[in-house]
Chains A and B, each alone.
Chain A
Amino acid sequence: MVFLVLAALTLYAAYRVATAHLITHAALFLAATFAGVAGVFFILEADFLAVVQLLLYAGAVMTVVVFAIMLSQMREAGDQPARWWTALRSPFFGLLPLVVSVALFVILTVVYAGVPWPVDAHAAAANSARLLAVPLFSAYALPFEVASVLLLAAMIGAIVLTRREEAER
C-alpha cells in the first residue's frame, strides 16, 4: 500500500518533469521524484542508499540544476510541440517521443513479466550499511578509487569550463 502511493507520487512527479511549462517547475518536480525514489529505496531496505539519494540528488544535484537555470536565464522548458507546425507537417515525428517511450515501456514490462527471476525474499540482511561497505572496500576497492578520481576530474573540469578568462575582456 505504501509502495503504491509512493510509486504513484514518484511517477506523477516524473510525468510533470516531462510536461511542465516552466523549467523551475520541472526542477521542483524532479526533486520530488528523487525524494520518491529515496522512499522506494527505504522500502527495499537500502537505508544507506536512500539517505545518500536524498543528500546527493535532492540536495547536491538539484542545487547544481537550479544554479544552471539561474545562470542560463531560461524560463521556458522548451517543448518540441511548441513549434506545433512542425508536428502538423509531419505528425509521425511530432508523436515520435511518445511512441518510442510507450513502446519501450510495453516491451520492458512484457519481458520482465516473462522472465522467471531467481527470487528469494528473505535474502537481505538487516544492517545495509555494513552489507554495502564490505564488498565496496574489498572486491570493489579499485572501482571505488577510480570513482573518486572521476569525481575529482569532473569537479576540476566544471571549474575550468565555467571560468571566465581575464584575457577575453
Chain B
Amino acid sequence: MTAGASGVPLLGFLVLAAALFCLGVFTALRRTNAIMILMGIELMLNAVNVNLVAFSRFVPHGAARGQVFALFVLAVAAAEAAVGLAMVIIVSRKRNAIDVQKINLMRG
C-alpha cells in the first residue's frame, strides 16, 4: 500500500474512522440521555465522513466524489441534529426528563 498524504497510508485513516465509529456506537448504546445518544450518532456520521474523504483522496479517478458525498452527509447530519434536538426539547418540556428509559408513552 503506497503512502499518501504526509506519509500516512490509507489504512491509518480507515482505522481512525473505524475507532471513531465504534466510540460513537459505544456512546449511543451506553448512554440513556437522548442528547448523548444524538452525540453518539454525530460521532458515527463524522467517522463515515473521514472514510469518504480518505477514499476520495487515495482511490484514483474518483474526481472528488467522496468529498461530494461527505458534503451531503454533512447536510443530512445538520438536519438530523436540528430535528432530533427539537424533539428532545419538546419531550423535556412535556415529561420533564429526556431519559430514554422513561419515555415509554407507546409501550403496550
Contacts and interface: CB of A to CB of B under 8 A. Distances in A.
Contacts of A45: 5, 57
Interface in B53-86: 53-54, 56-65, 67-68, 70-72, 74-83, 85-86
Interface in B4-37: 4-6, 8-16, 18-27, 29-33, 35-36
A140 B68 CA distance: 8
A127 to B, nearest CB: 10
A135 B64 contact: yes
B103 interface: no
Contact of A44 (B2, B13, B80): B13
Nearest to A119: B58
Nearest to B14: A112
Contacts, number: 253
Given A46-B70, A123-B62, 19 more contacts: A10-B16, A18-B30, A18-B40, A30-B43, A40-B50, A53-B49, A53-B74, A71-B89, A74-B92, A76-B33, A78-B33, A79-B32, A80-B32, A100-B26, A105-B19, A117-B10, A135-B63, A148-B75, A150-B79
